[in-house]
Amino acid sequence: MPYANVNGIRIYYETYGEGPPVILIGGLGSEIQSWATQIPIYSKHFMVIAFDNRGAGKSDKPDVPYTTELMADDTRELLRALGVRSSYVAGKSMGGMIGQWLAIKHPDIVKKLVLGCTSASRDEVGNEILRMGRETATKIGMKAVWLTAIFWGYTREYIEKNLSSIKETLAKIPENPEALTGYIRQSIACEGHNTKDLVGKIKCPTLVMSGEQDLSVSTKRSRELAELIPSAKLKMLKGVGHGFWRERQEEVDRLVLDFLLRGS
């Protein structure tokens, strides 16, 4: 299996397709599988790089403090290990926070930036949701956290239509001390994320997307993010919440590809 040694840990990654690179950065606790519906589509146009952040999936889960900035450094070192000098970057939720840091610290690397269901800073409601998730994970288990996240993130209509596959996914969620440690460390990193005073430095073309019914990340905060980045365009998606990238897959993937391919 492909691993890269970065920042003293092993990061698991996969690559697909040929062409200019695009790196996909996942959200809190998610694995490469969270991009399963995007990879076949994006790899028709790009070399897709997907990976498990530290603390998730097959990557190492050290029990040390994480920050979104540190995870951006991991991403930078992964690209360096793969010989990639510049890349398109797409991140959702926590992955969008990581993408912000990547563009702030390494502007020469990021050609275009896609930020989905994310923000430059957290509000107290969003942080309370994170704390509740950590308590649920510790007292009940990871499957309960993910089930709660599905209820928070998707419409009832989507859950009803996809209940069978959702149950299959839940059955595969690991329940072990390492997975719990990684999730908690990532969650604390999200809670501490704040780039409000720095995202104005981002100069690359940027697309910010938000679901109008997002309960996890305030749409007010997503709008603020788009306003703070000089080159950003904002797309609000009606009738969906935090999980819009999957729930409105066709529409969202078309937006992303149109943005990345335009003028490339």
Mean pLDDT by 10 residues, the chain (264 residues): 94 97 97 96 98 98 98 98 97 98 97 98 94 96 93 94 92 92 98 98 97 94 97 96 96 98 78
Query: What pLDDT does residue 259 have?
Result: 98
DSSP for 69-99, please give it: HHHHHHHHHHHHHTT-S-EEEEEETHHHHHH
The CATH class that applies to domain 3-261 reads alpha beta
Count of CB atoms within 10 A of residue 85's CB? 9
Do residues 40 and 118 lie in contact, with contact meaning Cβ atoms separated by under 8 Å? no
Distance, in Å, from the CA atom of 42 to the CA atom of 140, rounded to the nearest integer, reads 37
Do residues 214 and 223 lie in contact, with contact meaning Cβ atoms separated by under 8 Å? no
Give the pTM.
Answer: 0.96
The one-character DSSP state at 254 is: H
Distance, in Å, from the CA atom of 154 to the CA atom of 70, rounded to the nearest integer, reads 29
**Sequence-ordered list of residues with C-beta below 8 angstroms from that of 220, at least 6 positions apart, any chain:** 123
Structure tokens that stand for 188 in this block? 């604390």
Interior angle at CA 178, CA 64 and CA 190, nearest 5: 50
Query: What pLDDT does residue 1 have?
Result: 72
Query: What pLDDT does residue 264 have?
Result: 57
Query: What pLDDT does residue 231 have?
Result: 87
